[in-house]
Amino acid sequence: MARQSLTGVKRVIALDEGVLTALQVHRERQRDDRTKGRDDEHAGLVIATHSGLPVSARNLDRAFKRALTAAALPPMPFHDLRHTHGSLLVEGGADARVVADRMGHSQISFTMQVYVHARTERQRSAAEALGQKIMGPRKA
């Protein structure tokens, strides 16, 4: 699915069936709103105001904070979702080049240094593996 960024650069990324289905349902909801006169053409926007304009950063941030609270998640900046995306892809075994491409980075090293963070479980697992190499297997 190609998208146009604010800079006019297009990037194609693969989406799984669940995400595609959710986006199709959302598009139908937008079409229904337009036929009911509730908003104008969205100009291809996935997220838009009821009048079809882009959502302001301030309002997006407010909605994101409400969603975090409703999901009983800790507060975080919206941009942290990019870091989470990269980290989860790496944890799931995605190739570093694929992660960098999805995030729009030309340098894999930038992606790995800035956007990918080892989660606590992975840190703990690495420490356990190192401990077993140094000290030998643990006795029960």
Taking residues 77-97, what's their average pLDDT?
A: 89
Taking residues 96-115, what's their average pLDDT?
A: 90
Say how many Å lie between the first and final Cα of the chain, rounded: 51
Task: Say if residue 35's pLDDT is above 80.
Answer: no
Task: Say if residue 47's pLDDT is above 70.
Answer: yes
- Per-position b or e across 52-71, b if 16+ CB within 10 A of its CB: beeeeeeeeeeebeeeeeee
Q: Give percent above pLDDT 70 in the chain.
A: 84
Kindly indicate the confidence band of residue 1, based on its pLDDT and cuts at 50, 70 and 90. Answer: very low
Better pLDDT: 7 or 123: 123
Token duo for residue 42: 């969205």
Task: Say if residue 31's pLDDT is above 50.
Answer: yes
Distance CA 101, CA 75 (A): 28
Taking residues 4-18, what's their average pLDDT?
A: 75
Q: pTM higher than 0.75 for the full model?
A: no
Task: Say if residue 75's pLDDT is above 90.
Answer: yes
Kindly indicate the confidence band of residue 137, based on its pLDDT and cuts at 50, 70 and 90. Answer: confident
pLDDT (0 to 100) of residue 39 = 56
All structural domains of the chain with their residue ranges: 1-55, 74-140
